[in-house]
Structure 1
Amino acid sequence: MKNPRIVVDRTKLRENLAFIASKLTDHALSIMAVTKVFNAHPQVIALYDECPDITYFGDSRIENLMSYQNSKKQKVLIRLPMISEVPEVIQYADISFNSELTTIRQLDQEAAKQKKTHRIVLMVDLGDLREGFFEREELYDCIQEVLKMDNIQIYGLGVNLTCYGAIIPSSKNLGNLIEIQNEIKQRFDLSLEMISGGNSSSLYLLDSPTDILPEGINNLRIGESFVLGRETAYGADYEQMHQDAFTLAAEIVEIKEKPSYPVGEIGVDAFGKKPHYVDKGNMKRCIVAIGQQDVALDDIAPKDKAIELLGASSDHLLLDITHTKQEYQVGDEIEFSMSYGSVLSTFTSKYVKKEFIR
């Protein structure tokens, strides 16, 4: 079986890596490549591992960090550690992002057992309202306690923006991170190695004529930009990059002339939602063998612009091919462009095959 499948163009992905890596190193920024979007697939990891400008591999799942322990890149757990996984964090992560003193104490105790020094990045919430210290004094109190620990080293500060609250990085809010760094230096005589100023949504600041990345930010965490060739604050594509390094292919299993409006009383669908339909008369409909168990409908778009997405159940994706120039047949494939969400979900799905070309 070969379908459905996600097709990865190694050449295009390698060129994407080179472009972003050059941009960041030109601005004296270290690079943390986020590996969760492709589920730390070994063939993609091998390609990333070849890039000398990537210093860190970051992932939210300890299982992914475990899978590439042979890499010489530094491994970073970028989701706040669960207390239940503390032994694995110490064993497999060089660095972890943290915002809870209770967890850090557990990390310190476990690091002592494993005879290691574990580095942490303390996360600061600058308004996106996901993880991190929101009140500065709470952060400073935490630092004071951590400095008493024997097996924990405060390695840096980090911030996350756009992922939850969709707050755009700016010189103003990221400038607050630099203010906090300076206050930490003054209060504790503590110099920090890493000031991580966010993810791919901070990239636009490197090109903006009106806003700049504040001096002192020295690291960015890059996931989507490598994969899809765009910055993510405003979703602008880079002309020098490939937006199609990843393509989804699904096979047609049925083509029929059918009404556009279901026949009978409408209840709820397989996911408990009541759908709404527009009666467009009869149409040429096709089904491809992939569904919402693998990918969300809103996260893909047919490359053939004449195809309209109609809907999906868990295993079937329904399409309107009435106006296509190509005469599709059962067994043909339809290709889809992908979003960050669809790359993430299809790499996670064991039912979607992974193919690497070039």
Structure 2
Amino acid sequence: MGLPEIIIDLNKIRQNTETVLALARPFGIEVVGVTKVFLGEPRIAGAMLAGGVRMLADSRLENLFKLKQAFPDVPLMLLRLPGISQVEETVRLAKVSLNSEIRVLEALAAEGRNQGKVHGVIVMVDLGDLREGVWPEDLPDFIGQVLPLEGIKLQGLGVNLACYGGVVPTEANLGRLVELAASLEEKFEIRLPVISGGNSASLPLLLEQRMPADVNQLRVGEGIVLGRETVKRQIIPGAAGDAFTLRAEILEAHEKPSVPIGEVGQDAFGQVPAFVDEGRRRRGILALGRQDVPTEGLSPRDGRLKIIGASSDHLIVDLSGASELEIGSVLEFDLSYGGLLGAMTSPYVHKRYI
């Protein structure tokens, strides 16, 4: 297989899954394995299942289709709000979907009846991150419209935090979700079996023993694939942070000035770059560009190296502190979540499983 490539250690994915589940188990929390960062690749999802997760979740119906083909008996969750145009596929592929619009829920109910199914729904609540969700004050009226719908089953409430708005999950805001669920149960004389308390950003509350009682589900992606929580991006004790390794080859290694010569205008991406004069430096050009991975999502494992920048096809790295690196040398990088998303999505980055 050629370079660049990303090496995926399936044993470490399984290990990380087991570690996260062991963290959640004392709180009675189900961990749903989120597969979107690796496009629902069944080999990686299979490692999550081997590690103990019982439900898989993805934001793309295309990925759910792959998972359904590979694991027909595993329940699937659609993470992204379904559109009106997607209700047929949503009911066909997913056991559960996250929702916040009554018109979509009405369409899901009609499609559930059409397919002879009862589709599970979790109503999302916006607790301040300002992405998807019903505003808390509007929730009672909203739920009152949901309950009579035949063809769907209200399973509970969910929240998404530390995503668009960066709002950190806390005892207070997740406690508010629990309170809202309890008030709805009392008002409508129903039981809401699922309180879905967010994503990997909620893992610090488990580590610090501060997770509110009654939160019983988390949707975890980065905590498994990169082994870390997403508030401070710290490695979870017992987890591996290097399940994915990006490798790229040096194509050129020359000593050159650190500041361009001539009038500087816009670069290929419409930005006017700024440069710091560090004298002549030994610069390596790698076969890896912005079409493959965002530069800010990469960290060289060799601490002597520094990323200078990138074009669409090439990554430029300062090799001055590593004189032994030459043409054909292969550099290894750790990835952020965004970097992993780019590398796994790019058809030009080969995937190798170990």
Instruction: Report if aligned partners of 1:49, 1:73 keep a CA contact under 8 Å in 2.
Output: no
Q: Which whole-Å deviations, capped at 9, do the CAs of 1:194-241 have from their partners, x for residues lacking one?
A: 1001111111111226xx111110001110011111111222222421
Q: Which whole-Å deviations, capped at 9, do the CAs of 1:93-127 have from their partners, x for residues lacking one?
A: 11000001111111112222212111100000111
**How well do the aligned residues superpose, as a CA RMSD in angstroms?**
1.2
Instruction: Please give the alpha-carbon distance, in whole angstroms, between the structure 2 residues aligned to 1:259 and 1:316.
Output: 18
Per-residue deviation, 1:310:
0.6
Instruction: Please give the alpha-carbon distance, in whole angstroms, between the structure 2 residues aligned to 1:119 and 1:20.
Output: 25
- 3-state secondary structure, aligned to 1:273: coil
Written as runs of structure 1 = structure 2, the 5 A alignment for 1:118-133 is: 118-133=119-134
- 2:311 alignment partner in structure 1: 313
Could you tell me the percent identity over the aligned residues?
Answer: 42
Instruction: Please give the alpha-carbon distance, in whole angstroms, between the structure 1 residues aligned to 2:21 and 2:74.
Output: 15
Q: Which whole-Å deviations, capped at 9, do the CAs of 1:165-196 have from their partners, x for residues lacking one?
A: 11111111111101111111111111012100
Per-residue deviation, 1:2:
1.5
- 1:176 alignment partner in structure 2: 176
Instruction: Please give the alpha-carbon distance, in whole angstroms, between the structure 2 residues aligned to 1:340 and 1:135.
Output: 30
- 3-state secondary structure, aligned to 2:241: coil
Per-residue deviation, 1:43:
1.3
- 3-state secondary structure, aligned to 1:233: coil
Structure 1 counterpart of 2:271, which letter?
A: K
Match of 1:338 among 324, 327, 335: 335
Per-residue deviation, 1:7:
0.7
**2:300 matched to 1:299?**
no
Per-residue deviation, 1:83:
1.4
- 1:323 alignment partner in structure 2: 321
- 1:224 alignment partner in structure 2: 222
Q: Which whole-Å deviations, capped at 9, do the CAs of 1:294-332 have from their partners, x for residues lacking one?
A: 1111111111111111100111000110111x5112111
**2:195 matched to 1:198?**
no
- 3-state secondary structure, aligned to 2:55: strand
Written as runs of structure 1 = structure 2, the 5 A alignment for 1:2-13 is: 2-13=2-13
Instruction: Please give the alpha-carbon distance, in whole angstroms, between the structure 2 residues aligned to 1:316 and 1:154.
Output: 50
- 3-state secondary structure, aligned to 2:139: helix
- 2:353 alignment partner in structure 1: 356
Instruction: Please give the alpha-carbon distance, in whole angstroms, between the structure 1 residues aligned to 2:307 and 2:37.
Output: 24
Q: How many residues align?
A: 352
Per-residue deviation, 1:51:
2.8
- 3-state secondary structure, aligned to 1:331: coil
Structure 1 counterpart of 2:107, which letter?
A: Q
Per-residue deviation, 1:135:
3.5
Per-residue deviation, 1:147:
1.5
Instruction: Please give the alpha-carbon distance, in whole angstroms, between the structure 1 residues aligned to 2:253 and 2:190.
Output: 66
Instruction: Please give the alpha-carbon distance, in whole angstroms, between the structure 1 residues aligned to 2:3 and 2:42.
Output: 20
Per-residue deviation, 1:253:
1.0
- 3-state secondary structure, aligned to 1:55: coil
Instruction: Report if aligned partners of 2:41, 2:67 keep a CA contact under 8 Å in 1.
Output: no
Instruction: Report if aligned partners of 2:14, 2:50 keep a CA contact under 8 Å in 1.
Output: no
Instruction: Report if aligned partners of 1:120, 1:156 keep a CA contact under 8 Å in 2.
Output: yes
Instruction: Please give the alpha-carbon distance, in whole angstroms, between the structure 1 residues aligned to 2:326 and 2:169.
Output: 47
Instruction: Report if aligned partners of 2:15, 2:51 keep a CA contact under 8 Å in 1.
Output: no
- 2:282 alignment partner in structure 1: 284
Instruction: Report if aligned partners of 1:125, 1:160 keep a CA contact under 8 Å in 2.
Output: yes
Structure 2 counterpart of 1:341, which letter?
A: G
**2:98 matched to 1:100?**
no
Per-residue deviation, 1:26:
2.2
- TM norm structure 2: 0.97
Written as runs of structure 1 = structure 2, the 5 A alignment for 1:182-261 is: 182-208=182-208, 212-261=210-259
Structure 2 counterpart of 1:31, which letter?
A: V
Instruction: Report if aligned partners of 2:284, 2:319 keep a CA contact under 8 Å in 1.
Output: yes
Q: Which whole-Å deviations, capped at 9, do the CAs of 1:9-67 have from their partners, x for residues lacking one?
A: 22222211111111112221111000001111121122122233x12111100111110
Structure 1 counterpart of 2:320, which letter?
A: T
Instruction: Please give the alpha-carbon distance, in whole angstroms, between the structure 2 residues aligned to 1:222 and 1:202.
Output: 9
What residue ranges of structure 1 are gaps of 5+ in the alignment? none
Structure 2 counterpart of 1:301, which letter?
A: S
**2:137 matched to 1:147?**
no
Instruction: Report if aligned partners of 2:156, 2:194 keep a CA contact under 8 Å in 1.
Output: yes
Instruction: Please give the alpha-carbon distance, in whole angstroms, between the structure 2 residues aligned to 1:228 and 1:149.
Output: 40
Structure 1 counterpart of 2:132, which letter?
A: E
Instruction: Report if aligned partners of 1:33, 1:222 keep a CA contact under 8 Å in 2.
Output: yes
- 3-state secondary structure, aligned to 1:309: strand
